[in-house]
Amino acid sequence: MSLVKTIRNIWAIEELRKRLIMTFLLVLVYRFGCFVVLPGIDPNALLSFTQNADKGLMGLLNMFSGGAFSQASILALGIMPYITASIVIQLLGMVLPSFQKMQREGESGRQKLNQYTRYLTVLILLMQAPAYLYNLQAQTGGAIELGIGNVIYLTIILAAGSMFIMWLGERITDRGIGNGISFIILIGIIARFLPSLTAEFISRMPGADSQGGGLIMFVVEVILLLAVTIGAVLLVQGTRKVPVQYAKRIVGNKQYGGARQYIPLKVNAAGVMPIIFAQAIMFIPMTFAGFNQDGTGFLATFSDMNGFWYNFVFFLMIVAFTYFYTAITVRPTQMAEDMKRNNGFIPGVKPGKKTAEYLDSIMSRITLPGSIFLGIVAILPAFARMLNISQDFAQFFGGTSLLIMVGVVLDTLQQIESHLMMHHYDGLMKDGKIKGRTTGSAY
């Protein structure tokens, strides 16, 4: 009954109802576009490409695009070029003074950075689209004719498709439930999750292509997936609260301040960015492994996603990138200056430099277990494949897909919760403590 009452409360708020309906309609448009095949391509000739598109880097791209990549859709390149451009602009904002100045300019600076991100996205699309088309031609045995004119024509279509997805994401942010780009990624992952779950269930049932284990093994897999998901939720929501005491100020005959507050420091302030960075580097050997005909040596070792050395190095890189990204996004010196400016201090710690050093030591200590847990979550799909779980379904036992699903779902619930609380309705949780990703990656 509580769930029914909550749904009724959600529907009773006109603004929230309109936002949910708009989000649903925009998602329908996106999913429809995922099934519109590029002109000049025979859909029946895409079988071999579809089978190969679930492996390695192509499998990751196919998952983020909701299957549009393997279907040679007009939305095949998905939102990944925009994510890549956003990462580059974010990194430039950490090293170039001009970009740092724009970050401090508020809304006007944010608009400039968004415009630069769009320009860079178009540039990346103009490079990725021809590569995708030639790979499509090679994988399908010439199902598409690629003359110069055709390449230019289809490149424009693919670039326009990705820019259209960006527009849909912005509309979801402005007129929908919010977090548009992240929500688009979530829909793509969910679109791949349901078929993967169904295929895994069928494969466990007795039949010609059965993996064995029956219904009991499938139930065990689902329980393990739920356990990993709960762990991911704890990783996303985990915080360490640092007490801050604000000095009393006397204005006239009244005292103001003096209350104790807390700074919530995230256990995983870097979000999924360390996994994205590490995967981008680990895919380099996999790209060149195609030229290694004998299947041995360095390239073959680090292109085996189930191998020990691949996952060991992948784990270490995630731990290192977690510390790196946390160091450049969480700035204890600035936090200490802000506290000092507002007459705040940490009990027992001198304001200024000592406070910055204390906050830095706290972040270093809580980042270690967070980075190790993040690394374990990232390599869990390899262990899932070792347990004879299919490649498609194993992707959801960890890695970027699971963390994005958890993070975006929590953010969406938090958005709905805020609307309900603003209109004095009971929220989704009685304690009203749904926490999203307040720091770290937006993806």
Query: How far apart are the C-alpha atoms of 326 and 266, rounded to whole Å?
Result: 10
pLDDT of residue 163: 92
Domain identity same for 169 and 311: no
Question: Is the confidence at residue 252, as pLDDT, over 70?
Answer: no
- Domain assignment present for residue 182? The answer is no
Domain identity same for 131 and 255: no
Domain identity same for 123 and 217: no
- Domain assignment present for residue 184? The answer is no
Domain identity same for 22 and 168: yes
Alpha-carbon separation of residue 394 from 66, 197, 221, 292, 313 (angstroms):
16, 10, 10, 27, 20
- Domain assignment present for residue 347? The answer is yes
- Domain assignment present for residue 168? The answer is yes
Paired with 345 in beta bridges are 245
The SS3 call for residue 37 is: strand
The SS3 call for residue 394 is: helix
Domains identified in the chain, total number:
2
Domain identity same for 351 and 206: yes
- Domain assignment present for residue 207? The answer is yes
Domain identity same for 169 and 197: no
CB 298 within 8 A of CB 285: yes
pTM summary value:
0.75
| Structural domain harbouring 154 | 1-176
Q: Please report, to the nearest 10 degrees, the dihedral formed by the alpha carbons of residues 287, 293, 298, 299 taken in order.
A: 10
- Domain assignment present for residue 271? The answer is yes
Q: Which of residues 149, 176, 203 is at a domain's end?
A: 176
- Domain assignment present for residue 53? The answer is yes
pLDDT in tens, 32-88: 988 888 887 776 666 666 665 565 556 666 776 777 777 788 888 888 888 878 878
Query: How far apart are the C-alpha atoms of 10 and 17, rounded to whole Å?
Result: 7
Domain identity same for 272 and 150: no
Query: How far apart are the C-alpha atoms of 145 and 127, rounded to whole Å?
Result: 19
pLDDT of residue 164: 93
Domain identity same for 267 and 340: yes
pLDDT of residue 308: 81
Domain identity same for 83 and 194: no
Residue 262 has what DSSP assignment?
A: E
pLDDT of residue 439: 42
Q: Which of residues 176, 207, 230 is at a domain's end?
A: 176
CB 50 within 8 A of CB 72: no
**Could you tell me the end-to-end alpha-carbon distance of the chain, in angstroms, rounded to an integer?**
34
pLDDT in tens, 180-225: 888 888 888 888 888 888 888 888 777 656 666 678 888 888 888 8
- Domain assignment present for residue 243? The answer is yes
CB 418 within 8 A of CB 247: no
Report angle CA 387, 206, 381 to the nearest 5 degrees: 20
- Which position has the token pair 């195609």? 290
Among 35, 75, 83, smallest CA distance to 160 is for 75
Domain identity same for 225 and 371: yes
Domain identity same for 204 and 280: yes
Domain identity same for 302 and 416: yes
Q: Which of residues 153, 176, 199 is at a domain's end?
A: 176
CATH of the domain at 359: 1.10.3370.10
